[in-house]
Amino acid sequence: KNEVEQSPQNLTAQEGEFITINCSYSVGISALHWLQQHPGGGIVSLFMLSSGKKKHGRLIATINIQEKHSSLHITASHPRDSAVYICAVRSVGNEKLTFGTGTRLTIIP
Amino acid sequence: GAVVSQHPSWVICKSGTSVKIECRSLDFQATTMFWYRQFPKQSLMLMATSNEGSKATYEQGVEKDKFLINHASLTLSTLTVTSAHPEDSSFYICSAKTSQGKAEYGYTFGSGTRLTVV
């Protein structure tokens, strides 16, 4: 079992739909990161969470430390949101990231 | 915000030649740089961690003599793929640790380099 599990692996939705991507992890963490990888390969850091909830524009990220679970939500999805979304955790006492396998999101106009 | 500039974005080289990939931190000092490799539709795989002024720490299974990492300054880290072979064809991406406050830090990624060895 991977330390970081994401679901779904692939998600196709219509423009405007509310999107949820889930991440579960099995280790104690210092922080959890949500990353966005565009088709060209570049990676953008969306959120870094250690507790609670963060919001940036149409993106919302939540984390439940007790349940070892995080969600990334996208409201009013748009075709430009199409990308691979990756959950990554930094475990306690470690500076390395452990990555989930990613969720490939496709938003259809 | 913190920016890491990675070059080249893509490179095609002949088998047996060496290729150097550079990552520069543009507006901050990158004391630690992580180098990753990614195969198609797979997750990032950490190859090595480099700290400025010291030898890189390689992950198990990564050949240090093949993937030379140099982090000679606080703003530049390089990965050299020596005697490249077709199986080295992959997407390589760097990531710098960035300070977020007293005890917090985040990561800024380069734009990646797609290497094709023919």
The predicted-structure confidence for B81-98, as pLDDT tens digits, reads as follows 999 999 999 999 999 988
Given B43, B108, B110, which is nearest A45 (Cβ)?
B108
A41 touches B: beta carbon within 8 Å = yes
Q: What's the pLDDT score for residue B1?
A: 73
Q: What is the pLDDT along chain A (109 residues), one digit of tens a residue?
A: 678 999 999 999 999 999 999 999 998 999 999 999 998 889 999 999 999 999 999 999 999 999 999 999 999 999 999 999 999 999 888 889 999 999 999 999 9
Q: What's the pLDDT score for residue B106?
A: 85
Q: What's the pLDDT score for residue A71?
A: 98
Q: Test B107 with A97 for CB contact under 8 angstroms.
A: yes
The answer for B 13-72 residues in CB contact with A (under 8 A) is 32, 34, 38, 42-44, 46, 49
Give yes or no for a contact between B6 and B36, defined as CB atoms under 8 angstroms apart: no
**Whose CA is closest to B19, among B87, B68, B75?**
B68
B107 touches A: beta carbon within 8 Å = yes
**Whose CA is closest to A37, among B67, B50, B36, B11?**
B36
pLDDT, tens digit (0-9, with 9 covering 90-100), for B10-33: 999 999 999 999 999 998 888 899
Q: What's the pLDDT score for residue B100?
A: 61
Name the average pLDDT for chain B.
92
Q: Could you tell me the two tokens for B7?
A: 């070059």
- Cβ atoms within 10 Å, residue A13: 16
Report whether pLDDT(B102) > 60. Answer: no
| In chain B, % of residues over pLDDT 90 | 74
Q: What's the pLDDT score for residue B104?
A: 65
Q: What's the pLDDT score for residue A25?
A: 96
Q: What's the pLDDT score for residue A2?
A: 73
The answer for A 48-87 residues in CB contact with B (under 8 A) is 48, 50, 86
Residue with tokens 């985040």: B106
Q: Test A95 with B105 for CB contact under 8 angstroms.
A: yes
List of chain A residues whose C-beta atoms are within 8 Å of the C-beta of residue B106: 33, 45, 48
Counting Cα atoms < 13 Å in the Cβ hemisphere of A38 gives 13
B93 touches A: beta carbon within 8 Å = yes
Q: Test A96 with B93 for CB contact under 8 angstroms.
A: no
**Whose CA is closest to B6, among B25, B32, B31?**
B25
Q: What's the pLDDT score for residue B29?
A: 87
Counting Cα atoms < 13 Å in the Cβ hemisphere of B22 gives 11
* CA distance, residue B3 to nearest chain A CA (Å): 10
Q: What's the pLDDT score for residue B40?
A: 87
* CA distance, residue B105 to nearest chain A CA (Å): 9
pLDDT, tens digit (0-9, with 9 covering 90-100), for B49-79: 998 888 899 999 999 999 999 998 889 999 9
Give the pLDDT mean for B96-118. Answer: 84
* CA distance, residue B86 to nearest chain A CA (Å): 20
Identity at B31, one-letter amino acid code: T
